[in-house]
Amino acid sequence: MRAKRGSPPPRKAVVAAVCALIVAMSGAPPGHAWCDFLAIFNFGDSNSNTGGFWATFFGRPSGRASDGRLVIDFLTQALGIPFLSPYLQSIGSNYTDGANFATLVSTVMLSNTSQFVTGISPFSLAIQLSQMKQFKVRVLELAYKEDIFGRSLYTLDIDQNDFTSNLAAVGSDGFKQYLPQVVDQIAWTIRDLPGVEPGARRVLPCVPLEPGIFDLDEHGCVVSYNDAVEQYNILLKEALRRTQSSLAGATVVYADTHAVKLELFRHPADHGTAVTATACADPQNYVSWDGIHATEAANKLVATAILGGSYLDPPFRLADHCDLQPIG
């Protein structure tokens, strides 16, 4: 992905996130961002796991929890980088342009019980970071230049399962006491990413779960869940600002995709979609694919909002600084 002419060269890596997206641009402030990314490395759960489910776009099982492309897929397309291969996929992978460490049902915090008990993946954020470090060591052993890691985009798309697995167990008030631990773990991961400075992550704020099980608002969103997400994003924003102050070589930009998804659920018709809590045969017309994960249509709207810059803090349009590719 090439920046527009006249942009200053990068000094470090860039870290972005998908929901709440946080873009950390090294060196210059957003107004002078440079987009010459050599690779993308993603950490996350099923919302960004690219490695089988049938896909509208791919026309075959693609390993995505959606009918088509995810937000991370649209971001890689816009930046001119091929779709990411899963790190755990041993056959047919290509890591020339990055790797995806995300797995289904992953969490920020390491689960203290067996996967057979809770269904939570053992590949927590800390484990994925460890895999990334091992990956880097192996890459450097094969004589690749270390600069690839200093000129890459890092995305963290994880934490939804921390909410869903704990909220029902301890309630809204109990879970809110747990939020600082999740935020601290994310901030620590950002600081510890190999070869980069800052980082990011995402939250799915509105999941159209079955009525009667949870406290739902008029849009079918879980009230206690959404309240916890609102508080979580405030804590995350504050933590990222503190993290930014300790990372002289990078600039962190926060993107509120929480607001994007709320807009889609509250006014779906305005965006040519509808809301359902069940799997649908025509996902191109809906926000949710299976009651939990977003459709390709919704993912594209989220990615477009991110690229447009209106949900970024500070606000700026990536297209003003980067030669973005079409994501049709």
Cis peptide bond N-terminal to 314, omega within 30:
yes
Which residue in 62, 97, 157, 293 is the catalytic one?
Answer: 293
290 counts as catalytic: yes
Active-site residue flag, 192: no
- Residue reference for tokens 């099980």: 213
127 by DSSP, 3-state: which? helix
| Spatial distance between the Cα atoms of 52 and 222, rounded to a whole number of angstroms | 29
Tell me which of 26, 45, 46, 159 is the catalytic residue.
Answer: 46
Query: Distance between CA 98 and CA 152 in Å, rounded?
Result: 8
Q: Which residue's structure tokens are 């006491």?
A: 177
CA angle 100, 106, 110 (to 5 degrees): 120
Angstrom CA distances, 224 to 11, 50, 91, 263, 267, stand at: 42, 30, 42, 18, 20
Q: Give the type of residue at 115.
A: Q
CA distance 190 to 240: 9
Kindly list the distances between the CA atom of residue 320 and the CA atoms of 4, 7, 109, in Å, as whole numbers in the listed order: 8, 11, 37
Which of 159, 162, 290, 321 is the catalytic position?
A: 290
> Is the Cα torsion angle 60, 63, 67, 70 positive or negative in sign?
negative
Instruction: Report d(CA 65, CA 104) in Å as an integer.
Output: 8
270 is catalytic: no
Strands 39-44 and 152-157: parallel
As annotated, the active-site residues are 46, 290, 293
